[in-house]
Amino acid sequence: MDVTAIGQYDPAINPDDFIVAPLDSAELVARVGQIVYRRDGRGGEQRIRVGELTIDLQSYEVAMAGRRISLTYKEFQLLTLLASNPGRVYTREALLNQIWGYDYLGGTRTVDVHIRRLRSKVEDPDHLFVETIWNVGYRFRDIASQG
């Protein structure tokens, strides 16, 4: 099968799955369901709540204890990705690929700068969300598993 028959490959789309011919309709339904689940989470939830932090995925608004926090689009994307997968460690390279795209030519230090700015906006001594995993990257604290 010719890839151009489907359309040009665009790395900005960030594909994470594919199906080879011949097409099995049951497999297609299962794979589309998984993609929707990865994108929307359980039941297509439109908000992520972690303690007093609320992330509204439809309006792109973030609030901490009811106080609205103004984030840049990249900061919002970083926070959403990390908060959607608490406990999962993301390398700087993985964050660059998922947030900035595969064709980003800058260095990995831009991730550090954006994380620092994000922390300054959403964190305080009583609310710490993003952990640095030294020499690796970052993760969102899994608050539910802490006692």
Note down the domain range covering 37: 3-42
Residue 55 within a domain = no
- 16-58 pLDDT per residue, tens: 566 667 766 767 677 777 766 666 555 555 889 998 999 999 8
- 65-94 pLDDT per residue, tens: 889 999 999 999 999 999 999 999 999 989
Average predicted confidence (pLDDT) for the chain: 80
Residue 62 within a domain = no
Binning the chain into helix, strand and coil, the percentages to the nearest 5 are 45, 20, 40
- For the chain, what is the domain count? 2
Does the pTM of the predicted model rise above 0.75?
Answer: no
* Token pair for 47: 């908000």
Residue 56 within a domain = no
Query: Are 26 and 88 found together in one domain?
Result: no
Question: What is the rounded distance in angstroms from the CA atom of residue 47 to the CA atom of residue 58?
Answer: 8
Residue 77 belongs to a domain with what CATH number?
Answer: 1.10.10.10
Residue 35 within a domain = yes
Query: Are 86 and 131 found together in one domain?
Result: yes
